[in-house]
Structure 1
């Protein structure tokens, strides 16, 4: 049997089963994956390219359970939060769920009397506890306190397990070989907490390290026990990585530099850093970092790790840099559906690739026969409008096309496809006095406190004579391209007409999240209108 036949047979068998992570009990509850089309099979992979995921997944942590790998990432104000991705080979990744089903941390996350922009899910941590066959996710919210969610299956459902009174900043969780749970956390001053046996309270807390002033800031803890030694993996944002080593979780710890100012694999991007370490079943080690590549965001990149004789990790470089390519891990390549593609919203729930801008009003949307978005907010400010649905852009260049049924729009309604960030633009449709017009609008801006400073300027319009429209936004984040978005529309789904000027994407890092394609529908006069998203597709050249 050749490799492709073997891979397809393995894939078909796997997708008949319910996934729960290798090492979990046979038949344990898990997610049912959609069938994988045979025509999507890939040739045998002998190498891989960085970034391994060309989408915005920041502050990543990767864990292995048996022969399955799981990854979590920051999502800030997007809901559901803390995505969980799955892989069998560390290179091919797919969404399976979210650890935080709803940002249930206050009304501002509902866009109700406030906003949660650049708050919410920061660097968090995921772990598996073999004694329970259970997954734990821990995150600090608003610098105030930490929340623990657990699940029997990483695909969910996840439920809140405990609200811990201490705020574990940039936490990394360790389940020790004796089943004790520890959390490493902090900024510059690094501490370790021991949790109770049930993980609901703290039983001990101790500062274990103070960062030397000549290094500056260390944060983004990841906590490991490897060959009897304890390691705390720390980032020096945004250009370095360090590691602490001790024979005890409580120290004393010795510090060593892992990398500093190492050239990264993305042209025009930053230094790979943060993230964490993970081993394969055969004992090989890898470092999954992220690379700042704004305006797209922070992209996961993977490099092999070797260990010195005295137990320190070293990044395998290519000509002194983080490699743009490396040999494929000594694992069977496991093709998965791409993170791009089309969605016609025929399922009863949204696919895990979708995240709302803040929590949605669940009374104002339905899916199954297209995605019906009723107006949920009366506002002239897109940043204040609820039920804006987002999809990460695919680097280095991608195009989103959305097909909309406008028949149920009402006067004053605004719907469309946005390039969404703290500086935004959109193409869409406005209805006024019973007339539909295609519109391109830019100049939607926020200040450094994420308050709206501009609701936009209409730059171009076009008459419409039908209630069906296709909207398109192309985002190019390559350096030298001008890093611009282009907007166009179609009335037949085939011929697209440019509308408005190109929009220069904001490359500033301070919003943290990269640009997203966003579908919205809000009212400016009164609620009651609706649109139906018939199809949404993200494609690459």
Structure 2
């Protein structure tokens, strides 16, 4: 998690079947594999990656989106599918996470940690929320059910967990001053904690904790472009010495330098470093490179002409498990979807599609509950929804947004008995340096309209999220699902990092007059453009 200011100063200033979880038939023919950059062109930052047997699992930050901490699965480190979330709902003791009169934008789940405990087969996730307390979730299986089992009255900021050979649980954490905590045998409370390293290289954070051949390692990032390794041969509490792993490398995708990642091995003993690249407006994208170990126990990333390679030959055979593209017909709510804050569960249902009843009376999309979001697939993709608006009520507004702290949308407004297709641009938020932070500064302006008399309409948003690309999002609609008509102007997406999360597609329905109306999203199609 990149923080250019201190964490406290920022805080003070501040199941539809998933498209990405469609499982293909068993694959018997294994082909050669290549690690491309990025490995997954979606916003999946602050990663923690683990291996259980021959399966790999990946956890990422989600901030104010719910459910939180998505879990992805791979067997070849190249092809990934969403399979669940470690945090079913943002139950962090604050109504802000319900978006019911207050909000938790850019709070919630920052860099957290996921581990498997071999002694009992349990999976453990923990993370610090609001720089205050650390929440612990457990599950008997990676796909759940996940339950909050403990709240530790200490902030393990940017935590990295280690299950030691003797089954003891340790957590490395901190910003610049790195500490290690030992947890109780059940992993639900703190036994002790002590500082183990004070940085000599500036700000460091993003801890990831490992043990190899009896030696303890803590990976830490120097945001936004460096990664260091702390090494101890004297146990988990050090002392630690430091060396660099990657420093200010040229970007492999015209974005930032790879940093803040984790180490992962294969059953045959190959090692890799998986990091992320700042690649706004899309977010932070994971990338992977091989690692070798020196005779004195230090890891090194394999570079190509002095930089991170745009691709590497993989020792693992290619085994795709599914696809990130395709059409979701909303027969259940799958793990590639996340709500903007906790949803009002009484205001949506699965019934021949995703029925979204109005949950908020407002003229502000940022204040409207039950906006369902999906990551954009890079380098350029479109999201298309089929929306049934038969049951919209007077004053309702529903459609498809490009959602971030500067947003735009295309949709339907109903006034009296009249429905009108509109494109709205210029929705903005104040940012982190206001009190309170992330307040709505504009609810947008209607740029263009089109007449509409039917009950079903397709809306499409197309986004170019390449770093150094056009950063453009455009909007169109169709009344037959085949011929699309552009409407309105272009949203030039923001490329700064302070919101942390990248742009997303957002499906919404809110009331400006009174609750009672509804729309049904019949399908969502994600396709490269």
- Coarse TM-score class (shorter-chain normalised): over 0.9
5 Å-filtered alignment, 1:135-146, equals 135-146=123-134
Question: Would the alpha carbon gap of residues 407 and 39 (structure 1) be closer, same or farther in structure 2, given more than 3 Å must change?
Answer: farther
Tell me which residue corresponds to 2:58.
Answer: 71
Is residue 2:373 matched to residue 1:390?
Answer: yes
5 Å-filtered alignment, 1:75-154, equals 75-105=62-92, 106-154=94-142
Out of 232, 249, 274, the position equivalent to 2:260 is 274
Is residue 2:188 matched to residue 1:200?
Answer: yes
5 Å-filtered alignment, 1:109-508, equals 109-212=97-200, 215-247=201-233, 248-266=235-253, 268-328=254-314, 330-347=315-332, 350-448=333-431, 449-508=437-496
Q: Which runs of 5+ in 1 are unaligned?
A: 1-32
Q: How many Å apart are 1:333 and its aligned residue?
A: 1.8
Q: Deviations over 1:474-530 (max 9, x none)?
A: 000224542100100011111100000111011011000000000000000000000
Structure with larger RCO (C-alpha < 8 A, sep 6+): 2
Scaled by the length of structure 1, the TM-score of the pair is 0.91
List structure 1 segments (4+ residues) > 3 angstroms apart after TM superposition: 33-43
Q: How many Å apart are 1:173 and its aligned residue?
A: 0.3
Question: Would the alpha carbon gap of residues 34 and 368 (structure 1) be closer, same or farther in structure 2, given more than 3 Å must change?
Answer: farther
Cα distance in 2 between the residues matched to 1:75 and 1:505: 20
Other structure's SS at 1:59 match: coil
Q: How many Å apart are 1:337 and its aligned residue?
A: 1.4
Question: Would the alpha carbon gap of residues 150 and 451 (structure 1) be closer, same or farther in structure 2, given more than 3 Å must change?
Answer: same
Other structure's SS at 2:97 match: helix
Cα distance in 1 between the residues matched to 2:342 and 2:29: 37
Q: How many Å apart are 1:78 and its aligned residue?
A: 0.3
Question: Would the alpha carbon gap of residues 527 and 223 (structure 1) be closer, same or farther in structure 2, given more than 3 Å must change?
Answer: same
| Cα pair 2:459 2:477 within 8 Å, conserved | yes
Cα distance in 1 between the residues matched to 2:480 and 2:441: 36
Q: How many Å apart are 1:433 and its aligned residue?
A: 1.7
Q: How many Å apart are 1:235 and its aligned residue?
A: 0.2
Cα distance in 2 between the residues matched to 1:352 and 1:91: 19
Cα distance in 2 between the residues matched to 1:170 and 1:62: 14
Q: How many Å apart are 1:332 and its aligned residue?
A: 2.8
Cα distance in 2 between the residues matched to 1:68 and 1:534: 34
RMSD: 1.6
Cα distance in 1 between the residues matched to 2:163 and 2:389: 52
Q: How many Å apart are 1:113 and its aligned residue?
A: 2.7
Select between 307-316 and 105-114 the one with higher mean Cα deviation.
105-114
